[in-house]
Amino acid sequence: MSNDYVITPPAPPRPPAPHRKSRILLLSLIGLCSLVLVAAVLTGVWLLRPSGDKAGTDRTGTASTTPTTSWSLADKSYGLAGGGTDVQGLWFQGQTVIKALPEGLVGLDRATGRQQWGISTPGSGTAMCQTSPDTSDNVLVLAYGQDRTCDHFYAVDLSRRKVLWEHTLEHSDWVAGKGVRIARTGDVVVLEADQRIAEAFRVSDGKSLWKDGNSVYQPKDSHDDCTGRGYTGGKTLIRLERCSTGRADGDPYYVAAVDPATGHSRWKHRVDGKDGELTEVLATSPVIYSMPDKDRPLDGLLRMHVLDDAGRPRSSLAPGPEHRTFRHVDNGSQLPDIRIVGDVLAAITTMDSKDRESGKDHNKIVAWSLTSGKRLWEHTSTGYIQQYLPVDSPDTPGIYAYSSGNIYDPSTLFRFDPVTGRQSIIRRYPPTPDERTPSTPFVTLAHDTLYLSARFEEALPGIEKDKRDKALIVKPVK
d(CA 387, CA 420): 21
Nearest alpha carbon to residue 126 among 170, 180, 79: 79
Q: Which amino acid is at 302?
A: L
**C-alpha 237 chain-centroid distance:** 21
Q: In DSSP terms, which residues pair with 33 in a beta bridge?
A: none
Supply the pLDDT for residue 157.
97
Residues 6+ apart with CB under 8 A from 1: none
Cα 152–Cα 137–Cα 191 angle in degrees, nearest 5 = 25
Which helix or strand (DSSP H or E) is residue 45 part of?
helix 20-48
> How many angstroms separate the CA atoms of 169 and 192, rounded?
8
pLDDT of residue 33: 41
* pLDDT, tens digit only, all 478 positions of the chain: 433 333 333 444 444 444 444 444 444 444 444 443 334 333 333 322 233 333 333 322 334 567 888 999 999 999 998 766 789 899 999 999 999 999 999 999 999 999 999 999 999 999 999 999 999 999 999 999 998 899 999 999 999 999 999 999 999 988 876 789 999 999 999 999 999 999 999 999 999 999 998 888 866 545 568 889 999 999 999 999 988 877 666 788 999 999 999 999 999 999 976 778 888 899 999 999 998 877 777 777 889 999 999 999 999 999 998 887 755 567 889 888 899 999 999 999 987 655 555 556 889 999 999 999 999 999 999 988 899 999 999 888 899 999 998 888 899 999 999 999 999 999 999 998 889 998 889 999 999 999 999 999 888 888 889 999 999 999 999 8
49, HSE (Cβ side, Cα atoms, 13 Å): 12
How many helices and strands (H and E) does the chain possess?
A: 2, 32
Peptide bond into 18 cis (omega under 30): no
For residue range 310-323, list pLDDT tens digits in order. 999 999 999 998 88
Q: Which residues contact 454 (CB under 8 A, 6 or more apart)?
A: 75, 437, 438, 439, 441, 469, 470, 471, 472
Tens-digit pLDDT profile for residues 19-59? 444 444 444 444 444 443 334 333 333 322 233 333 333 32
Q: What is the pLDDT of residue 62?
A: 37
DSSP H/E element including 289: strand 287-290
Rounded distance between C-alpha atoms, residue 125 and residue 435, angstroms? 28
Strands (E) located in 31-161: 71-74, 90-93, 96-101, 104-109, 115-120, 127-131, 139-146, 149-157
pLDDT at 355 (0 to 100): 57
| Domain boundaries defined on the chain | 169-298
**Contact predicate 111/95, CB 8 Å:** yes
Q: What is the pTM of this model?
A: 0.83
User: How many angstroms separate the CA atoms of 142 and 94, rounded?
Assistant: 21
pLDDT score of 85: 76
Q: Tell which residue, 336, 303, 273, 295, has the closest CA to residue 88.
A: 336
- pLDDT of 471 reads 96
Those residues with Cβ within 8 angstroms of residue 5's Cβ, 6 or more apart along the chain or in another chain: none
